[in-house]
Amino acid sequence: MAEFTPQPSCADPEDKNRLSIDAARQRIAKLVPTLTAWHHCPLRDALDRVLHQDIVSPMNVPAHNNSAMDGYAIRSSDINSDNFSLKQVGTAFAGHPFKGKVDTGECIRIMTGAVLPDDCDTIIMQEQVESNDNVITIHGKHRQGQHVRYAGEDIKTGATVLGAGRRLMPVDLGLIASLGIGEVNVKRRLRVAFFSTGDELKSIGETLEAGDIYDSNRYTLYGMLKRLGIDMLDMGVIPDQKAPLRQALLEASEHADVIITTGGVSVGDADYVKELLAELGQVDFWKIAMKPGRPLAFGQINQALFFGLPGNPVSVMVTFYQFVTPALRKLMGEATPPNTTQQVICTDAIRKRPGRFEYQRGILFEDEQGQTKVKITGEQGSGILRSMSMANCFILLEEQCDGVAANTVVNVQPFSGLI
């Protein structure tokens, strides 16, 4: 992994120099390398994996000129009026070409996908033909080359059909298969180790004492990492104590490319976590001008990248999607996906103070006229995971925005655009 150079920290107590989201992203992007390891894998196993090399077509698609319709293959030089007759001398089925000769005044019956004989250049749809004792009468106007699919029309031999860095989708598997390719080169899987910190956290199955809560962050993290096709090491809940935390971080750094922790990076707990991280690696504590998800720790422990996310469940998801996902994608060599934000009318008024970027949880819906609009999910506290569950998008409110009046246009990021 590339040498990590620490960046100036923004953990100043006055919050004067809080990092903008873009600046934080840029700093992260600068420090995250791209892994070069890759391996060969059978096509089916390549679903959701990142391509290491371009897929170049070894053949024309379609391979032969063929018919786009059920009908008759003719020689266009035989078209002499709106009503003419030809002799049918054979039939071509998909997978069973007609091997004979088609002379002037002759035609063959041809099915969709069947190879077009070299002698023919035009297809007549069967609906425009009357057939009687191997003689067909053709009605209407016809154009040379109609209903013919030409060899190489979709893909020419040597064309790049998918670029390196592409995360393979179901359609890609089909496309690659259509070229007769059964194995591809993909980037190696990333390994991410994660754990939760907090003395109040209990795992499912344990009894909750007063003040305890169930650890939900490890489950959302599991889901988000799984979607990215990442191998995971779930290290459970680590108490807020130096020795177990040190041990967990060291163990994680031995086994993973990336370590993600949640909790323990806000002002209340940061001091000694900071001390520990300074001892083990190079980690900066950033205050980001955003809500939710203000505190974020980022750096390196041994050879592993480290993300210390805040503890609040919504903050975890927001900071993961905004900072960790792009970093993981870069690490695994994935090309940057297109921006999926869109502008829609927000039917609710939203109160907001300028000075920080807000990710409000929104619900995209269709009004009675069929127009897509957005409303907020209600309470927006960063501990309210249900606000994420009810939502299907983030409403993006820029740093300088000082509130939104009802029925004005806002930017939204649909969850479907996030993995």
Minimum distance of Mg ion from residue 199's CB (angstroms): 8
Q: What are phi and psi of 125, to 5 degrees?
A: -60, 145
- Selected from 20, 126, 266, 347, the binder of ligand AMP by CB under 6 A is 266
Closer by beta carbon to ligand AMP, 54 or else 200: 200
Which of 262, 300, 319, 325 is in the footprint of ligand AMP by CB under 6 A? 262
Interstrand relation of 213-214 and 201-202 (parallel, antiparallel or unpaired): parallel
| Window contacting Mg ion (CB under 5 A); options: 34-42, 261-269, 370-378, 389-397 | 261-269
Assess contact for 256 and 189: CB atoms under 8 A.
Answer: no
Binds 266, which of ligand AMP, Mg ion, none (CB < 5 to 8 A, cut-off by type)?
Answer: ligand AMP
* Listed ranges 67-75, 108-116, 311-319, 387-395: which one lies at the site for ligand AMP (CB under 6 A): 311-319
Structure tokens at 197: 């910190």
Q: Choose which of 65, 67, 88, 196 interacts with ligand AMP (CB under 6 A).
A: 196
Instruction: Build a one-symbol-per-residue string for 32-71: x at contacts with ligand AMP by CB under 6 A, - elsewhere.
Output: ----------------------------------------
Q: Is 287 in the site for ligand AMP (CB under 6 A)?
A: no
No. of helices (H) and no. of strands (E), the chain: 8, 26
Compute the distance between CA of residue 221 and CA of residue 6 in angstroms, rounded to an integer.
Answer: 26
Size of the site for ligand AMP (CB under 6 A): 19
Residues whose CB falls within 8 Å of the CB of residue 275, separated by 6 or more in sequence, listed in order: none
Binding letters toward Mg ion, positions 325-364, x by CB under 5 A = ----------------------------------------
Alpha helical stretches, state H, 180-266: 217-227, 242-255
Helix 267-280 × helix 242-255 angle, to 10°: 50
Among 263, 281, 313, 333, binds Mg ion (CB under 5 A): 263
Burial of residue 386, with CB atoms counted within 10 A of its CB: 0-12 exposed, 13-18 middle, 19 or more buried: middle
Strands of the sheet containing 231-238, edge to edge, are 231-238, 191-197, 258-262, 304-309, 295-301, 281-287
Minimum CB separation from ligand AMP for residue 233, in Å?
A: 16
Of 200-239, binders to ligand AMP (CB under 6 A) are 200-201, 213, 215-217
Among 57, 312, 360, 380, binds ligand AMP (CB under 6 A): 312
Strands 191-197 and 231-238: parallel
What residue type is 368 in one-letter code?
E
The residues that bridge with 297 in the sheet, in sequence order, are 285, 308
Q: Residues in the site for ligand AMP, rule: CB under 6 A?
A: 196, 198, 200-201, 213, 215-217, 262-264, 266, 268-269, 310-313, 383
